[in-house]
Amino acid sequence: MEDWGEALAAGDASWYIPSMQPRNPWGGGIEVITGSMFSGKSEELIRRLRRAIIARQRIQVFKQGLDDRYAAGQVVSHSKWRLEAERVAKAAEILDLVDPRTEVVGIDEAQFFDADLVRVAGHLADLGKRVIVAGLDMDFRGQPFGPMPELLAVAEDVEKVHAICARCGAPASYTQRLSQAQEQVVVGAADIYEARCRRCFEPGGPGEEPELYPPDESEG
């Protein structure tokens, strides 16, 4: 193919000559996209991966085997964009599954992974790959979630995205659980969680409001 533009238009990737591509001139690295639920993390992950696909880069996407929210083996954003993902039980499995030719590795729902994900992401970045990780920074108690705090520390680039507080409309950083369940992970949909700002967030679920009694006129 003589004309790259023509090849692109024809959807022909055979013109691609790796050494001539100005891609990834700085080597590999880790990007983290984080925030509360409903903040658009998966949306942003998919946006970056779509751009990589348009740039004819080889991508692979992984997610933890736990999250059955929408569809098996897919990254799904709330606005319904979908991307095929490989499901793994443990972070170390990602190293076995990444093709040496893969240039961009996407990892969704990273908070569900074991602590080894930090080493795995670092190793892939050392190999020159762009690693894009999306996950919740805090659990329903407002505590750092799984391997996320360490990933945030070692990442080259961090983007915190914000939802809208369901109570007051302010930018929201917290995930409010609307039930009394106390397990860290209750995978579910919109009716179990909502986004809240710091002021409206009730850590650990809706608390018991102390009763306020009016003065008792009959006493005294």
Alpha helices in the chain (DSSP H): 4-9, 41-54, 92-97, 117-126, 148-154
Return d(Cα 130, Cα 31) in angstroms, integer.
8
Q: Is 200 in the site for Zn ion (CB under 5 A)?
A: yes
Q: How far is the CB of 77 from Zn ion (least distance, A)?
A: 23
In contact, 96 and 124? CB cutoff 8 Å = no
Q: Which residues are catalytic?
A: 109
Residue 164 engages Zn ion in binding (rule: CB under 5 A): no
Q: Which of 166, 168, 185, 188 is nearest to 176 (CA)?
A: 166
Q: Is 55 in the site for Zn ion (CB under 5 A)?
A: no
136 lies in the site for Zn ion, by CB under 5 A: no
CB 54 within 8 A of CB 62: no
Determine the interface stretch with Zn ion among 71-79, 134-142, 154-162, 169-177 (rule: CB under 5 A): 169-177
Nearer to Zn ion among residue 130 and residue 196 (C-beta): 196
Does residue 197 belong to the site contacting Zn ion (CB under 5 A)?
yes
Does the protein bind Zn ion through residue 167 (CB under 5 A)? yes
Beta carbon nearer to Zn ion, 132 or 197: 197
- 7 CB-contact burial (10 Å; exposed 0-12 / middle 13-18 / buried 19+): middle
Between residues 107 and 197, which has the closer beta carbon with respect to Zn ion?
A: 197
User: If you ran DSSP here, which 8-state letter would residue 201 be given?
Assistant: -
Q: Which stretch binds Zn ion (CB under 5 A): 18-26, 84-92, 98-106, 161-169?
A: 161-169
Binding interface with Zn ion (CB under 5 A): 165, 167-168, 170, 197, 200
